[in-house]
Amino acid sequence: MNLNPKYYEFDKYEIQIDLLETMQEIETYDAETRQKELLKCAISFPYFCHKYVKINHPKRGMIPFVLYKYQRRCVEDYETYRFNILPKFRQGGFTTTTAVWAAWRCLFRFYETIIFLSPSHQQSVVVEKMIQRIISELPSWMKSEIEQSNRQKTFPKTDSKLYLFTPECTIGTSVTYWTSVTYLIVDEAAFVPEMDKCWKTLYPTVSPTDGNCICISTINDVENWFSGMLDHAREKNNSFHVIESDYHKRPEFDTEEWAKQTRAILGEKAWQQEYSYKSPVMNSCESEKNSPQWDKTTATGMDQEQTPRTTPFIQELNREIEHHNA
Ligand SMILES: Nc1ncnc2c1ncn2[C@@H]1O[C@H](COP(=O)(O)OP(=O)(O)O)[C@@H](O)[C@H]1O
Ligand SMILES: [Mg+2]
C-alpha cells in the first residue's frame, strides 16, 4: 500500500494501531481496554475508520478505511461549519466518507438525528448496505443494541438516529413535523429530482439552534438548485461554507497518464463536469485570490454567522483520555 505523505497523514491515535491484531483479539479486549478504545474512537473519526471500518476498493477488495488527507479536511469542515457545500469530483470517496461519518456521529454523539438523502432508491440502497455491513463488522462491545431497518438505524446507547432517505420519502410523510434534525445531508444534490421542493420540505426540520446541513454533488450541467446555492456560496451571499475538492489529491488520479486517458474516454465536456469543473464565480475568485489584496479570512468562507464551533465534548474526552494514559 502506497502511504505517501502527499496523500496520507495519521493522528496520534492512529500511529498506535497494531496492524497484526486480529478481530478475535479485539473482540476479547478487557473492560478497561474497551473503555479506552471507545474514547479514542469518540475523539478521532480517522482512528475509528482506520481500525474498525473496512471499505470495498474497486481493485484491492476489502481494505481498512484509511482516510486520504482531503477526506480528513472535509470532515474537519463538517465539524467546524454549520452549512457546508461540496462540489466534488467523481469517485473521490465523498459518499463513503460522509455516510461513515454520519454513522460514527450516531455511535459516539448523543441525541443526533441525521437524514442522509440520496437521489434515487438504488443509490440509497448502496449506502444502506454499506452502513449495515460496517456496523455488523464492529466488535460486539461497540455496536450493542443498534437496530437496523432499511431506512432507519437506531442507536439506543446515544439516543441517536440515522435515516436513509430518497426524495419520495419527503412526500406525504410526517417529515415536516420533525423539528430537531441535527444534520441534513444531501448526496448528489444536483441530481435529486425537484431538489428545490425537497429542500423546502426538509430544511424546516433542521434544528434552528444546533442543526447543520451538508450538500455534496458532482456538477450537473443543467441549471439546478445545487449550482445556484454553490454560486451564491462562492459570492458569500448565503451561509454555506464551500469545501473545494481536487482530483489530484487522490493518489490513483494524480498521474498525467490517468488524466489523459480519462479525458480521452470521457470527452472534454464530461471531463470538465466530472473532474475539473470551475464555475464562472470560481474563476473570478481565483483571479481575486492571486491578487495581493486577497484576504485570507474571506478565503475560508467564514462569516459572522459561521464562526467555527467549539467542541467542549471533545475537550472533555481529551482530558479523560489523558487522565487514562497518565
Ligand atoms: N480513503 C480511501 N481509500 C481507498 N479507497 C477509497 C477511500 N475512500 C473511498 N474509497 C473507494 O473509492 C470508491 C468511490 O467511493 P464513493 O464514496 O462512491 O465516491 P464518490 O461518492 O465521491 O463518487 C469506492 O470504491 C470506495 O470504497
Ligand atoms: Mg457518491
Q: What is the pLDDT of residues 260-287, one digit of tens each?
A: 999 999 998 888 888 876 665 555 555 5
Domain that holds residue 134: 68-287
3-class DSSP state of 212: strand
Cβ(234)–Cβ(278) below 8 Å? no
Q: Is the dihedral of CA 175, 194, 242, 220 positive or negative?
A: positive
Structural domain contains residue 57:
no
- Whether 270 is covered by a domain: the verdict is yes
More confident residue, 270 or 85: 85
Domain annotation covers residue 202:
yes
Rounded distance from Cα 67 to ligand 1 centre (Å): 10
In short, whether 68's Cβ falls inside 6 Å of ligand 1 is: yes
Which ligand places an atom closest to the C-alpha of 98?
1
Please provide the average confidence, as pLDDT, over all residues in the chain: 85
Q: Which of 73-77, 140-144, 309-313 has the highest mean pLDDT?
A: 73-77
The confidence score (pLDDT) of residue 269 equals 86
Assess if residue 220 is contained within a domain.
yes
The region, left, alpha or beta by phi > 0 then psi within -120 to 50, assigned to residue 57 is: beta
Closest-approaching ligand to the CA atom of 1: 1
Query: Is residue 320 in a domain?
Result: no
Query: Does the C-beta of 55 come closer than 6 Å to ligand 1?
Result: yes
pLDDT at 300: 29
The pLDDT of residue 150? 81
Would 33 be classed as within a structural domain? no
At 192, which CATH number?
3.40.50.300
Residue 305 forms part of a structural domain: no
How much is the pTM? 0.86
Q: Which pLDDT belongs to residue 95?
A: 98
Model pLDDT, residue 316: 52
- Count of the separate structural domains present in the chain: 1
DSSP state string for 139-205:
-HHHHTT-EE-SSEEEETTTTEEEEEE-GGGGSSSGGGG---BSEEEETTGGGSTTHHHHHHHHGGG
Residue 306 domain-assigned (yes or no): no
What integer is the mean pLDDT of 283-293? 47
pLDDT reading at 211 higher than 90: yes
